[in-house]
Structure 1
Amino acid sequence: MSLANYRLDVRAALTAPPPNLDYVLPGLLAATVGALVGPGASGKTMLLMQTACDIAAGAPIGGGILTTGFLNGEGAPVVLVFAEESHAVIHHRLQAAIQGMQSMREFKSASACSALAERLSKNLHIYPMGGAARDARWSVGRSQGDAKVMVEACQGARLVVVDPLRRFHAGEENDAAHMSAVVEAFEGIATETGAAVILSHHTNRNSALAGAGELASAARGSSALTDGVRWQANLSAISDQMASRLGILESERASFMRLDIAKANYMSMPPPTVLRRDSTAGTLSIRQSAPTQARKRIPRRTGATYDSESVRGRDAG
């Protein structure tokens, strides 16, 4: 390797405007690696499936939780590798993820639904590998044949999802050197394909017990994972304080989650988004403010009235 290949042309950088940054999701750039962290059974897989459907369709058919403002209307290829799920389970989850399209005006006609199905068939590349997890695992290192196969499968993708990360390496999660190497391996895939790569990962037990699942440090194992990725989103349970502030009954608390962008190297940190989980389908949707909730007028030239929470159901707590 020669460093000369990486040297920045300073004169050009000083005289020409910089290129636009290519965001796949808020704060997540193309050709970089991010992580989605949360407890087991918290909805990580479903959220990733819904996000993938949005990007593949070019429309918020999965709810637009992470994709609003980042869809091109034409759709783009997405690769999802699920190491723990069977074809039957993913079949159910895929149908659940696109249920929201039924209420969208642009997909009311049979021809529009047919065109959408064709677009999803073309752009969604889903590999459920439940029962064959050993085929998904490779030793960390760019020369490994399995990693090469992964790169080939992901060529041209806008987004690559790996779920869960633990099934894709055989090393020690608490070893900083090994986890740095894991991140580097996926950085290689991101660089070679141009795709954003999201690694699904679990929270550590201490963070879950302490009610600190929204923090970047909540990721299980060595902090080298969080240090190495450029973006991290966290799914976690809402606290008693947040539930009380939002008027959520104790009997309904288990149906709500908070989604935080816990780390973002290329954007300012946004407030959390409160999500509601469907008890039957398992899909996640942005919590809407209750109609009876007190409203607060914010002085603006237009005189518009807004909810005291943001329109995306976010709460800064």
Structure 2
Amino acid sequence: MEHKLDLIALLAYVDPAYLSYQEWVNVGMALKYEGYTASDWDEWSRRDGARYHPGECFKKWTSFEGSGIPVTGATITQMAKENGWMPRSAYDRDDHHELGWDDELSGGDYVVVDKNWIEGKEIHEPAPAAWNPVQQLTTYLQTLFEASENVGYVTDTWQNEDGKYLPTKGAWDRTSGELIELLHMCDGDIGAVLGDYNQEAGAWIRFNPLDGKGVKNENVTEFRYALVESDTMEIEKQNAIMRELELPIAVMVYSGGKSLHAIVRVDAANYDEYRKRVDYLYDICRRNGLSIDRQNRNPSRLSRMPGVERGGKKQFIVDTNIGKPSWAEWHEWIEGVNDDLPDPESLADTFDNPPPLAPPLIHGVLRQGHKMLMAGPSKAGKSFALIELSIAIAEGAKWLGWNCTQGKVLYVNLELDSASCLHRFRDVYTALGMPPRHIANIDIWNLRGKSVPMDKLAPKLIRRSAKKGYIAVIVDPIYKVLTGDENSADQMAHFTNQFDKIATELGASVIYCHHHSKGSQGGKKSMDRASGSGVFARDPDALIDLVELELTEALLKQEENKAICAVYQQCFYRHNPNYLQQHVSQDDLLSAKAMEDHARHAIYSSELTATAEEVKRALEAVRGRSAWRVEGTLREYAKFKPVNMWFQYPVHRVDEVGSLKDIDPDGDGARPPWQKASGKRKDKAQAERRSKAEEFEDAVNNCNMGEPPTVKDLQEWFSSTGKEVAERTIRDWIAKHGFVIDKNNGNVVVKKSGNDHE
């Protein structure tokens, strides 16, 4: 007989174990009405292992006679719809719109994984010496349940006609806390806690908490997890695809058979939302090559219990807490993967009338909505330079000789405490001699001690800044929010992409600060000085690089002479301006000795005493300042000539007279080539040792919001970019970089002192 719909396929969505007796009978009547056989009904009914009785379907079948109101295939169709089946037409609709929680998945490819190219990822059964059933089951319970929540599990089985082992309803009257306590006291015999199980059949457990009254959907108290299982492809491929999809998996268990059981966070508020989210989850898996057993969609479904054996194989935990940390983050990521890319544009459409360029922020250097990196060594005053830039944008003034567009700026302070940061802004305003007419244009976000990795900070920053109208966001410094290995191109590309998101969402320029690699920088190009991967230098639209100039003693003497002359000239302006005009020549104005002699003749001794103090302070200031050369690599503008400047706390001043133009950076001009090469090799080795230690110490200080972290905290921190770091590696780094594990305080990692021992 030909059928409009394949009712047997629809019954894959209907679990007989959750139907009432009358509903089960209605399915049989519908199948008979539509021309199916008793064998079809019997085969489907076998899935209810607890209530199935051989031969019962065939006896009932003969009693189904015609009636005035027949039960038709529409009954089965409706049951399938209620359990997640959707007719094909629902996927072919043209009324595409943004997906909400009340919508079914439709439209869009949602393809993340190319199943034809993805490489399998092996799983490894625990070695016999390391096999610990109690630990396996305890980890499962602690990961999925609160101590007070009831857990359903099954150890009793029965065999059907085909010899297949099927579970009974099992137990549901004990809490996770009770089970864990009994497991700790069972001396490794979990059968003494749960009841002995058949090692040919294995055992099962329910992954959502129950009310202690039964095991149906209505007994589920929290719709927290869903089961993702596929037994139609290799285990390694299942593992790889689930991980590539970044499913928010709380626990992944090997079933001891042909599949992995991934317990996925769905965090639904109620049963209706649970059904919708599971349908969405299963459809994403299907579109990415993972054929899902849709019978598992019920929230009270059984899954394989870790810590037991089945047919000579172990049911064990493969991994915990992998993929995205929550349903919300995973959903946002899946939607973003498919929606973020723009369509290609035809050049012919815009060639004669191209869109306007973004307006400049720093004229000749950076446009609004673009990115700029400032790189330099320590003591270059990078933070002060960025504060100066914040003020220049707020006031519409010059910065290092470049005009700035006036507007609102957000300064993200990750390093200084709030009071120090605010004082710095006031000190820089004062040193620049600039009236704070537009300080309302500057917002400061103080995050010292509260910083999070950049991929977590970016959405928070965007949300807080969306309606503020900033034309610039300055992040200082980035090492506080850096994740992953700064020498890894792919990890740093992921990191710098967060700045693109901020710039795109806010339409603001993003300006950030990074440090130089260690060692001499004078012989390098500006793009090669920033520490870590070349991504740092090649990603921004403008790179502003600061390199120190090594001052000669002759230049310092010359600067001291200028400073002394300036002090005496001011003294004459205050106390005897006529003498200055009539008796001091142009040559005398440039000679400290001559100016001092003139002052002895024309200035009272009391004023000379005060002037001597001023001279002393001026000389100290000259000796206390440093000299820097600003070079750059620009994407939107022509390369600019190097800018020389002085840094005298707390501000930079451009060298307008050219005193620094002939100075070589770091004194490299005086070193022979062989000496430079030798120095670079030593500097590189030392820098690598230092940077790894600094990176690890930064992780210890930040991965647990400033509190001493555990080994697990550090492992999650270093694995956050997608490259897993083993616990053993973390422990090696702890010892290598001068830390210890405080075993009396929950494996907390602390800084080693002279008397500490692990």
The question of a shared fold, defined as TM-score above 0.5 by the shorter chain, is answered with yes
Distance 1:139 1:19, change over 3 A: closer
Q: Is residue 2:630 matched to residue 1:260?
A: yes
Q: Cα deviations across residues 212-249 of structure 1 (Å, max 9, x unaligned)?
A: 477221001111111212211112211458x9699657
Alignment pair present for 1:174 and 2:487: yes
Whichever residue aligns with residue 219 of structure 1, its letter is A
Match of 1:238 in 2: 549
Q: For 2:473 and 2:383, how far apart are their aligned partners in 1?
A: 13
Q: CA deviation at 1:158?
A: 0.9
Aligned runs of 1:259-278 on 2, under 5 Å?
A: 259-278=629-648
Q: Secondary structure at the match of 1:219?
A: coil
Partner residue, 2:419: 88
- Structure 1 residue 210: deviation in Å? 4.5
Aligned to 1:204: 517
**Which position in structure 1 is the counterpart of 2:503?**
190
Higher helix share: 2
Higher RCO (Cα < 8 Å, 6 or more apart)? 1
Aligned partners of 2:511 and 2:503: how far apart in 1? 10
1:95–1:205 Cα change, 3 Å? same
SS of equivalent to 2:351: helix
- Cα distance change of structure 1 residues 35 and 316 upon mapping to structure 2, 3 Å threshold: farther
Q: Shift of residue 196 of structure 1?
A: 0.7
State which of 126, 129, 140 in structure 1 corresponds to 2:444. Answer: 126
Whole-angstrom CA distance in 1 between matches of 2:355 and 2:371? 22
Change in CA separation of 1:254 and 1:216 when aligned onto 2, cut-off 3 Å: farther
Whether 2:534 is the aligned partner of 1:223: answer: yes
Question: Highest CA radius of gyration, 1 or 2?
Answer: 2
Aligned to 1:15, the other structure's residue is in SS state coil
Could you tell me how far apart the structure 2 residues matched to 1:67 and 1:78 are? 19
- Gap change, CA 1:69 and 1:5, over 3 Å in 2: same
- The 5 Å alignment of 1:1-317 reads 1=338, 5-16=342-353, 18-25=355-362, 26-58=364-396, 60=397, 64-66=398-400, 68-71=402-405, 75-99=406-430, 102=433, 116=437, 119-121=438-440, 123-130=441-448, 132=449, 135-138=450-453, 140=455, 144=456, 146-155=457-466, 156-206=469-519, 209-212=520-523, 215-239=526-550, 252=622, 255-279=625-649, 282-289=650-657, 309=658, 315=661
Give unmatched runs, 5+ long, in structure 1. 108-112, 290-308
Using structure 1 for the length normalisation, give the TM-score. Answer: 0.73
Number of residues paired by the alignment? 264
Q: Is the 8 A contact 2:516 2:531 kept in 1?
A: yes
Change (3 A) 1:254 1:238: farther
Cα gap change, 1:247/1:266 in structure 2, threshold over 3 Å: closer, same or farther?
farther
Are 2:359 and 2:367, in contact at CA under 8 Å, matched by a contact in 1? yes
Q: Distance in 2 between matches of 1:175 and 1:246?
A: 46
C-alpha separation between the residues in 1 aligned to 2:640 and 2:522? 20
Contact 1:27/1:267 (CA < 8 Å) preserved in 2?
A: yes
- How far 1:193 sits from its partner (Å)? 0.6
Please tell me whether the aligned partners of residues 365 and 634 of structure 2 are also in contact (alpha carbons under 8 angstroms): yes
Deviation at 1:254, TM superposition (A): 6.0
> Distance between the aligned counterparts of 1:246 and 1:236, measured in 2?
22
Q: Distance in 2 between matches of 1:253 and 1:46?
A: 19
Q: Measured at CA, do residues 213 and 152 of structure 1 come closer, stay the same or move farther in structure 2, by a change above 3 Å?
A: farther
The CA RMSD measured in Å over matched residues stands at 3.1
Change in 2 beyond 3 A, CA 1:204/1:101: closer
**SS of match in other structure, 2:342:** helix
Give me the identity figure in percent. 20
User: Is the Cα contact below 8 Å between 1:259 and 1:272 reproduced in 2?
Assistant: yes
**C-alpha separation between the residues in 1 aligned to 2:557 and 2:348?**
53
Deviations 1:95-120 (A, max 9, x none): 12212564x6xx5xxxxx6xx1xx31
Structure 2: runs of 5+ lacking an equivalent:
1-337, 561-619, 664-758
Runs (4+) off by over 6 Å = none
Structure 2 Cα separation of the partners of residues 194 and 128 of structure 1 = 22
TM-score w.r.t. length of structure 2: 0.32
Q: Deviations over 1:49-98 (max 9, x none)?
A: 0110111122x2xxx22473333xxx311011111101121122111221
